[in-house]
Amino acid sequence: MSGVRAAKSLLALREQEELEDLPNDYPLSTSEDEGDGGGERKHQKLLEAISSLDGKNRRKLAERSEASLKVSEFTVSSEGSGERLVLSDLLEPVKTSSSLATVKKQLNRVKSKKTVELPLNKEEVERIHREVAFNKTSQTLSKWDPIVQKNRQAEQLVFPLMKEQSAFAPIEHVLNGWKARTPLEQEIFNLLCKNKQPVTDPLLTPVEKASLKAMSLEEAKMRRAELQRARALQSYYEARARREKKIKSKKYHRVLKKGKAKKALQEFENLRKTNPAAALEELEKLEKARMMERMSLKHQNSGKWAKSKAIMAKYDLEARQAMQDQLARNKELTQKVQVASESEEEEGGEEEEGDLLVPDAVNEAHMTADGPNPWMVRNHSGDAKEAEIQKDPEQLPEPMANEASESEEEERPVAEEEILLKEFEERRSLRKKSGLNQDAKPVSRQETKADSSTQEVLSELRALSQKLNKDSHQCRKQNVGSARTVLSVQREEPAGEEEEPPLLQRPERAQTLEELEELSKEGCFQNEELPRPALEEQQLERNNQPSAPKKKTKEQMIDLQNILTTKSPSVKSLAVPTIEELEDEQEREQKQMIKEAFAGDDVIRDFLKEKREAVEASKPKDVDLTLPGWGEWGGVGLKPSAKKRRRFLIKAPEGPPRKDKNLPNVIINEKRNIQAAAHQVRVLPYPFTHHQQFERTIQTPIGSTWNTQRAFQKLTTPKVVTKPGHIIKPIKAEDVGYRSSSRSDLSVIQRNPKQLSIRHKKQLKKN
Amino acid sequence: VGRMETAPKPGRDIPPKKDKLPTKKKRPRRYWEEETTPTAAAASPGPSPNKKRNRELRPQKPKNTHIPKKSRVSKKPQIVKKPRERRDAEPPRSLSGAQDPFPGPAPVSVEVAQKFRRIDKSKKLPHSKSKTRSRLEVAEAEEEEISVKAARSELLLAEEPGFLEGEDGEDTAKIRQADIVEAVDIASAAKHFDLNLRQFGPYRLNYSQTGRHLAFGGRRGHVAALDWVTKKLMCEINVMEAVRDIRFLHSEALLAVAQNRWLHIYDNQGIELHCIRRCDRVTRLEFLPFHFLLATSSETGFLTYLDVSVGKIVAALNARAGRLDVMTQNPYNAVIHLGHSNGTVSLWSPAMKEPLAKILCHRGGVRAVAVDSTGTYMATSGLDHQLKTFDLRGTFQPLSARTLPQGAGHLAFSQRGLLAAGMGDVVNIWTGQGKASPPSLEKPYLTHRLSGHVHGLQFCPFEDVLGVGHSGGITSMLVPGAAEPNFDGLESNPYRSRKQRQEWEVKALLEKVPAELICLDPRALAEVDVISLEQAKKERIERLGYDPESKAPFQPKPKLKGRSSTASLVKRKRKVMDEEHRDKVRQSLEQQPQKQEKAAKPMGARPSALDRFVR
C-alpha cells in the first residue's frame, strides 16, 4: 500500500514539474484539463513546503528556462530551484544527535579551506633554490676565511702545513738491533739481566702492560660518566635559566638582587678572613668599577633612558624612584675606596659606614704589595726618583721634607699628591732642557736661523740709514757704526772688520736683490755711473712707498748680498803663516782687495743672470698658433695684430715652484734624472692606493750591509718554504677543527625546501 | 758615526785595536765599576806645575775636567739599575741555582734606536684601507724591531774616540805636536813622523780606504806607496813627468796617478798597468769606492768618470767653466763637487749633463772644497780669504764664515767632523761641539807649522792622524779624536790579510752601485717614480675610455609623487657637488698652515741608503 502511495505522489510531482516547465500560456492537453485547478493549488503547497525547508520563508521567482536535458530519473532538476542544498542538511537526521556535531564541524573546516594556489613556474623555483644554495654555500665557505686570512698574513708558511708525526717506532724496535759491545755496556747488560729487568724486547713486563691497559679503560669510563653528568647538569641549568628569565615579576627580581648582594657581601667577608689576597683583588675590581664609572659617567642621569625618566618623574613616582636609584648607584660607584693608611684614625667611622668600605686587613695588604693604585705607585716611584735627584745640587729646596719622612708620606699620600705632581712636572721640564742642551744640533740650527733673521733685520736697518744719510758722510758713518755695534753685540764680532773697507762698502751700492735685478734688466749695470740725485730720487720713491709688501718679500728672500758679504770675523791664529814679501804686504793686500771686490760684483751679476736664464729655460713654454697673413694683410715687415696673437696663444700651465725660489745663491737643476728613475718602482702593488703608503713599506733597507745578521735573516726569510720530498696536501677541515664538511650541508638544503628564509617565502608569495 | 747607516758589526775576526791613541781615550766604563772613580782619582797626588800639559794627556788623568763628563754619562747607570731592581723583586733561578744578573734583553736607549730608524712617522699618510693598514703596521713594526737590534749591537762598539782637553782656560791650540808625542805611548808616537823630501817638490798624498797605506806623489815625478804604520815601502818610482795628483783605487794594490799628459795606473810594485789617454791633462782625482768610479777633472774643463771595474768611461761632462782644479766628493751621496774661478761650487752626477746644483760661495774664485763624511756640511775657501761652511741638506746656505789671514788653500774633513785647513805653511784644525755639529771656527783645536807650503791634506781613516803633503815632504800629524774608533771588519779592515782583501774585493764588486744612481738625495731609490706612475695611469684611462679608480658621479635616486622633476634632480646634484667642494676647501685650509710650517723648518737630516758612502 505504502509503496503504491509513494509512487503516486512521485508521479504527481512529476506532473507538477512538467507543468511548471511549460509556459503559462501554453495550451494544456485535454487529458489533464479536469485536474487543472486542484493541481495548481497542490503545486503552490509543494513550493511552500520546500521553501520552508531551510526555515526561511522566502519566495524565489521562478526562472524561466528551457526544458533541461539533465533530468534526473526522479524528474527533479536542480535548475530553477534557486535553493542550495547543503551536504550536511542531507545528513541531518530527523532527530538531532550530538554525535554528528563533530562531523559537521569537520565539514565546516573543510569548507573553509581555500583552494591550493598554483605552483610557481619551474624557472623561478630553481632560481630561488639556487640563491638559497649560494647563500648557504658562501656561509659554509666563510668558515674558512679566518684561516685563509691567517695564512695570507703569516710571515712565513712552511709546507706541509701540518707537521707529520714522526713515524712511531717503539723503543723495543730500536733496541732490537742493539748489542752490548763495550765492556761498560756489557757490564750494565749483565747487571740488568741479573735483576731480571726487561732488557731489549718488552720494555714493560706483561703484568705492567695489563695493568696499564686496565687503568686506561677505567679512566675512559670515568671520563665518559663525568662528561655525561656535565652535559645533564648543563641542560638542567639552561632550562632553569630559561624559566627564570621568563619571570616578569618585579618583586621577584628585586628580591633576587637583594639576595645576590647579600651573598656577595658574605662571600667577601669570608674571603677576607680566609684569603686576604683574593679579597684584595675583589677590592681592586670595585675600584676599577669606580674608575670606569668616573670615566663613563654612566649613571649620572644623563643617558637617554634617564632623560626620558626625568620627564616622567614629575608624574610618576616609580620613575622618580628609578632616577634616585641611579644617582645613588653613581654615588656609590664613584665613592673612592678608603685607604686604611689614610684613615687610621677614622677607623671607627669606617666601620659605621658599613659594608662597602674596606676592612683594614685588606688595606694593609694593599700597602705592602705594590698594587695598581696609581696614587700609591706614584708615591713609590717618586721616592725612588727623589733619591736620585738628591744628588743634584740644584734641586735643594723642594725635597727637604720628603726625604725626611718617607713613611709619613705613605701615611698621607693625598695631601702630598699635588706636591709630588708639581715636582714631577718640574723634573720633566728640567730633563727636557738638559736633553735640549745635549743635542746641540737642533739648537744650533735654530741659532743659525735666528742669526740669519737678525742679519736681515740689520741689513734693512743699515740700508735705511744709508738712504737717509747718503750725502753726509760723517753722519752716515755714525749711523752705520751704531748699526754695527748692534751687529757686533749680536754676533760677538771682533774688531777686524775695519781693516777691509772695500769689501764692506760693496753691498751698500746695490742694496737689495730687487734693485739689482731691476738694474740688470735695464741692460747696463750702471750702479756707479748713475748720477747721485737720480739715485736718491729712486731711493726716496722707494722710501715713500708703503714698505709693507717689500718687507714681506724680503722676509721670504734671503739676501744674496748678505750671504756673500757676511762680515766674517778674522781668525786670530797662533801661527801666522809666513809670507815671503813682507815689505809691501799692506799695499798688495789693498790692491787685491779692490781687485776681488770688482771681480765679486761681476760674480754676483753673472750668477743672477745665469739663474734667470735657468729659470726661464725650465719654465713651460707658451704655444703660439698665430699664422701671419690669415685674415689680414701679409707680407714682409707686417706682424699679426696683438689681438690675434693673444687669441691664438695657448698659455702653458705654471709648473710647481722651483726648489731654489727663495735661495738666491743656489741654482738647483729641476731636470729629472731619467737614468735613476729607471731603477725606481713605477707600479703600485695591489693593496696600496697611494704611493706614499708603499714608500713607507720600502724605507728600510734589507741588505746585510745595513742590518745586523739577525735582522738581515729576519728580513729575508722566504714567504713560503716547502720541504723537499713532502707531499703538500690541500688543507682539511679536520686539520683546522671543523667537523662537518660543506657538502653535507648543501645536500640538506636542497632536500628541505622548507628551510627557505622568510625573504624567499615573501618572494614566493609575490610571485 | 753620525748618520752612518752601516750597522755596527764588530767582533768578527777583528783584532783589538791597540794602536789607537790610548792616552787620549777615555776608558769605557764597565757595568761592574761603581761611580767611585772620580773621587778616587781626585785623591791622587797633584803633579808639578811645569809639566801641566803633559799631565793633561796622561791616561790616568785625574782632574776635574773629567768629572763633568762622568756626570754626563751618568744616565747610563740609571738605565742599568732599573732591571736590577726588577730582579730583586722576583729572582729567576735556573736549574743550577745560578742567577742571571741581567735578566731579559739588554736595555736599549731610545735615542740610539732613533738613530737607526728610517720611517718618518711625522709624515701624514693618506687614509688607507684596512688591508693596506695592516701591511703598513707590519712594516713599521719590523723597522722598529730592526732598529732596536741595531741599537743593541752598538753596545759592542767598544772603542771610544780620543780627545784632547785643556785644563781650565788652556788653549789646546798651544799644545804642540812634540808635546802630544811625548805624552802618548810609543806605538802612537810612531805615527807622528816627517818625511824630508825636498828634492821632488810639493807632494800630494792619499790614504787607502782602510787607512793602512799611504801613497804620495811629488810634482817632479816622485811616486811612492808605503804601509805607513810599519813604514814598509811598497814601491818607489819616478815617472819622469809632473805628477798632479795621486789616488788609491778600491784597494791598495792599484794606484792612479795624474801625470802631466795622461792618467796612469800603477800597481803596488810600481809597474805601470794602464795609460788612459782619454783622460788627459788631469788635475785632480777622486775615487768613489761604492761605484768603482774614478772621477777626474782636467785642465780642459772636462769631468770624466771612469769605471775601474770594467775600464769604461761612464761619462765625460763638460763643466763649461774653464780649468778645473778644485774637486772633492761627497761621501754621503757620491756627488762630485767642483770649485770654479767664478766663486761657484757645482755639484755633478754622471747621469746628468748639467750640474745638479750650483752654489755661489765666494766673491773670488774657489780655492778648496771639502765635504764631511755625513754629507751634511761643506767647507769652502776662496780667493777672498774666507772660509765658509755650508749646509748641504737642501738649502745650501752658509752656516758660518770666517776670514783667514791668508786664506786656506786646502781643506779636509775627518771622519768625525774635524776640519783641517792648510794656509801657507800652517795647518789649522777646528772641531765642533757635538758629534754631528759643524766645526765651529771660533778658535782652532790644533795648529801646526810645517817646513814647507801645504800642497795636500788628508785625514787617515780609522787613525787619529792627519797626513800633510808639503813642499818639504810629508808630515804625519797626531790629531786626537779625528777618526772613527770602530771600524767595520767586513767593510774596511785595516788588519786584513791578503786573502781577506781578495774576498772583500769580490764582494764589493758584487755590490757595486750603478753609476746612474748617483743623485743629490740617495734615498730617492726608496721612492716611487710618481711621474711614470701618473703617466701610466693617464694612458690607461685613455685606453679604457674611463677612469676605473674614480668614484662614480652622483646620480640622484628617482622619487615618487612628482618630486623627481628635472629641477629637483639638478638641485640635488648641485647639493652633493657643493658639499664635496666644501670638503675640498676645508681640507686645503687645513693643509695651509701645515705647508707653512713645512716651509718654515729646514729639511732635517734623513738617514739614507747611501749613507754607507761614509768612510
SS3 per residue for A252-277: HHHHHHHHHHHHHHHHHHHHHHHCHH
pLDDT band of residue A737 (cuts 50, 70, 90) is: low
| Residue in B118, B130, B146, B453 to test binding to A, most A beta-carbons within 10 Å | B146
Q: What are the DSSP calls for A576-641, one per residue?
A: PPP-S--TTHHHHHHHHHHHHHHHHHHHHHHHHHHHHHHHHHHSPPPEE---TTSSS--STT----
Residue, of A402 and B364, whose pLDDT is higher = B364
pLDDT band of residue A415 (cuts 50, 70, 90) is: very low
Would you call the peptide bond into A160 cis, given omega within 30 degrees of 0 as the criterion?
Answer: yes
- Whether the pLDDT of residue A99 is over 90: the answer is no
* pLDDT value of residue B170: 85
* pLDDT value of residue A525: 36
What's B613's DSSP letter?
G
Question: Is residue A107 classed exposed, middle or buried when 0-12, 13-18 and 19+ CB atoms within 10 A define those classes?
Answer: middle
pLDDT band of residue A60 (cuts 50, 70, 90) is: low
pLDDT band of residue A451 (cuts 50, 70, 90) is: very low
- Whether the pLDDT of residue A344 is over 50: the answer is no
- Is the alpha carbon torsion for B591, B592, B593, B597 positive or negative? positive
pLDDT digits (tens, 9 = 90+) for B28-60: 555 554 444 333 333 333 333 333 343 344 333
Which candidate, B344, B243, B242, B348, places its Cα nearest to that of B288? Answer: B348
Question: What distance in Å separates the CA atoms of residue B198 and residue B472, rounded to the nearest whole number?
Answer: 5
With cell 614629575, the residue in question is A314
Cβ contact, residue pair A707, B7, below 8 Å: yes
B403 touches chain A (CB under 8 A): yes
pLDDT band of residue A371 (cuts 50, 70, 90) is: very low
- Whether the pLDDT of residue A319 is over 80: the answer is yes
pLDDT band of residue A398 (cuts 50, 70, 90) is: very low
The DSSP element (H or E) to which B285 belongs, if any, is strand B282-288
Which candidate, B185, B180, B405, places its Cα nearest to that of A569? Answer: B405
Spell out which residues of chain B touch residue A610, defining contact as CB-CB under 8 Å: 358
Helix, strand, coil tally for chain A in percent (to 5) = 60, 0, 35
The Cα angle at residue B54 between residues B49 and B59, in degrees rounded to 5:
120
Question: Distance between terminal CA atoms of chain A?
Answer: 66
Question: What distance in Å separates the CA atoms of residue B247 and residue B493, rounded to the nearest whole number?
Answer: 19
- Whether the pLDDT of residue A294 is over 50: the answer is yes
* pLDDT value of residue B103: 83
Please answer whether residues B430 and B419 qualify as being in contact, where contact means their C-beta atoms are separated by less than 8 angstroms: yes
* pLDDT value of residue A482: 44
- Whether the pLDDT of residue A766 is over 90: the answer is no
Highest mean pLDDT among A315-324, A526-535, B59-68, B258-267 belongs to: B258-267
Angle between the N-to-C axes of helices A440-468 and A548-556, in degrees from 0 to 180, rounded to the nearest 10: 140
- Is the alpha carbon torsion for B444, B449, B450, B455 positive or negative? positive
State what percent of residues in chain A have pLDDT above 70.
Answer: 46
Q: Please list, in sequence order, all residues whose beta carbon lies within 8 angstroms of the beta carbon of residue A410, skipping any fewer than 6 positions away.
A: A341, A367, A379
Cβ contact, residue pair B354, A566, below 8 Å: no
Taking the complete model, does pTM exceed 0.80, yes or no?
no
Question: What distance in Å separates the CA atoms of residue B446 and residue B174, rounded to the nearest whole number?
Answer: 7
In DSSP terms, A157 is beta-bridged to A720
Cβ contact, residue pair B143, A448, below 8 Å: no
Spell out which residues of chain B touch residue A715, defining contact as CB-CB under 8 Å: 142, 146
Q: Please list, in sequence order, all residues whose beta carbon lies within 8 angstroms of the beta carbon of residue B52, skipping any fewer than 6 positions away.
A: B167, B170
Q: Quote the cell numbers at residue A222.
A: 670515568
Question: What distance in Å separates the CA atoms of residue B492 and residue B202, rounded to the nearest whole number?
Answer: 29
CA distances from B36 to B67, B351, B385 (A): 11, 59, 50
Chain A window 587-606: which residues touch B at a Cβ cutoff of 8 Å? Answer: 596-597, 599-600, 603-604, 606
* ipTM entry: 0.76
With cell 679536520, the residue in question is A734
CA distances from A311 to A154, A301, A319, A743, B385 (A): 56, 11, 9, 58, 88
Question: What distance in Å separates the CA atoms of residue B454 and residue B203, rounded to the nearest whole number?
Answer: 8
Residues in chain B with pLDDT < 70? Answer: 1-97, 434-435, 598-605, 612, 614-615
B79 touches chain A (CB under 8 A): no
Which candidate, B517, B483, B163, B520, places its Cα nearest to that of B376? Answer: B520
Chain B window 80-119: which residues touch A at a Cβ cutoff of 8 Å? Answer: 118-119
Question: What distance in Å separates the CA atoms of residue B114 and residue A699, rounded to the nearest whole number?
Answer: 15
Identity (one letter) of the amino acid at B198? R
The DSSP element (H or E) to which B264 belongs, if any, is strand B262-267
| Least reliable range by pLDDT among A303-312, A495-504, A717-726, B558-567 | A495-504
pLDDT digits (tens, 9 = 90+) for A136-169: 999 988 988 888 888 888 888 888 876 555 566 6
* pLDDT value of residue B100: 80
- Whether the pLDDT of residue A637 is over 80: the answer is yes
CA distances from B363 to A168, B127, B385, B390, B545 (A): 87, 50, 10, 15, 58
Could you tell me how far CA B203 lies from the centroid of its own chain? 26
A115 touches chain B (CB under 8 A): no
pLDDT digits (tens, 9 = 90+) for A196-225: 766 655 566 666 777 777 777 788 888 899
Question: What distance in Å separates the CA atoms of residue A117 and residue A119, rounded to the nearest whole number?
Answer: 6
Spell out which residues of chain B touch residue A706, defining contact as CB-CB under 8 Å: 5-7, 609, 612
A377 touches chain B (CB under 8 A): no
- Whether the pLDDT of residue A680 is over 90: the answer is yes
Question: What distance in Å separates the CA atoms of residue B452 and residue B410, rounded to the nearest whole number?
Answer: 14
> What is the pLDDT averaged over residues A1-23?
50
A586 touches chain B (CB under 8 A): no
> What is the pLDDT averaged over residues A88-109?
75
CA distances from B360 to A567, B80, B231, B339 (A): 16, 51, 43, 10
State what percent of residues in chain A have pLDDT above 90.
Answer: 13
Please answer whether residues A605 and A516 qualify as being in contact, where contact means their C-beta atoms are separated by less than 8 angstroms: yes
Alpha helices by DSSP H, A340-412? 347-353, 360-368, 374-389, 400-404, 406-411
The residue of chain A with its CA nearest to that of B433 is A440
pLDDT digits (tens, 9 = 90+) for B288-321: 999 999 999 999 999 999 999 999 999 999 999 9
* pLDDT value of residue B128: 85
Q: Which residue of A596, A677, A688 is in closest CB contact with B384?
A: A596
Q: What are the DSSP calls for B71-86, one per residue?
A: HHHTHHHHHHHHHHHH
Identity (one letter) of the amino acid at A228? Q
- Whether the pLDDT of residue A479 is over 60: the answer is no
Spell out which residues of chain B touch residue A441, defining contact as CB-CB under 8 Å: 434, 436-437
The sheet with strand B446-449 has its strands ordered as: B410-413, B419-423, B426-430, B446-449
Separation in Å, CA of B565 to nearest CA in chain A: 30
> What is the pLDDT averaged over residues A228-248?
92
The residue of chain B with its CA nearest to that of A590 is B384
| Residue in A596, A672, A715 to test binding to B, most B beta-carbons within 10 Å | A596
- Whether the pLDDT of residue A14 is over 60: the answer is no
Over chain A, what is the mean pLDDT? 67
Cβ contact, residue pair B398, A563, below 8 Å: yes
* pLDDT value of residue A16: 52
Question: What distance in Å separates the CA atoms of residue A107 and residue A94, rounded to the nearest whole number?
Answer: 19
Question: What distance in Å separates the CA atoms of residue A383 and residue A549, rounded to the nearest whole number?
Answer: 58
Helix, strand, coil tally for chain B in percent (to 5) = 25, 25, 45
Which candidate, B396, B438, B433, places its Cα nearest to that of B603? Answer: B396
Q: Which residue of A448, A676, A687 is in closest CB contact with B129?
A: A687
Spell out which residues of chain B touch residue A688, defining contact as CB-CB under 8 Å: 128, 132, 135
pLDDT digits (tens, 9 = 90+) for A695-712: 999 999 998 888 999 999
Cβ contact, residue pair B149, A673, below 8 Å: no
In the structure, how many helices (H) and strands (E) does chain B have? 11, 28
Cβ contact, residue pair B448, A575, below 8 Å: yes
| DSSP-derived pairing of the beta strands B410-413 and B377-382 | unpaired
* pLDDT value of residue A202: 56
The Cα angle at residue B452 between residues B450 and B456, in degrees rounded to 5:
85
Please answer whether residues B554 and B389 qualify as being in contact, where contact means their C-beta atoms are separated by less than 8 angstroms: no
Identity (one letter) of the amino acid at B594? Q
Spell out which residues of chain A touch residue B129, defining contact as CB-CB under 8 Å: 687, 689
Phi and psi, residue B238, nearest 5°? -120, 120
Q: Quote the cell numbers at residue B472.
A: 818639504
Question: What distance in Å separates the CA atoms of residue B401 and residue A573, rounded to the nearest whole number?
Answer: 15
Identity (one letter) of the amino acid at B53? R
Q: Quote the cell numbers at residue A134.
A: 649560494
Which candidate, A158, A149, A141, A143, places its Cα nearest to that of A737? Answer: A143
Cβ contact, residue pair B434, A153, below 8 Å: no
Which candidate, A199, A2, A162, places its Cα nearest to that of A734? Answer: A162
| Domains, chain B, with CATH or none | 172-504 (2.130.10.10), 514-544 (no CATH)
* pLDDT value of residue B30: 54
Spell out which residues of chain B touch residue A689, defining contact as CB-CB under 8 Å: 126, 128-129, 132
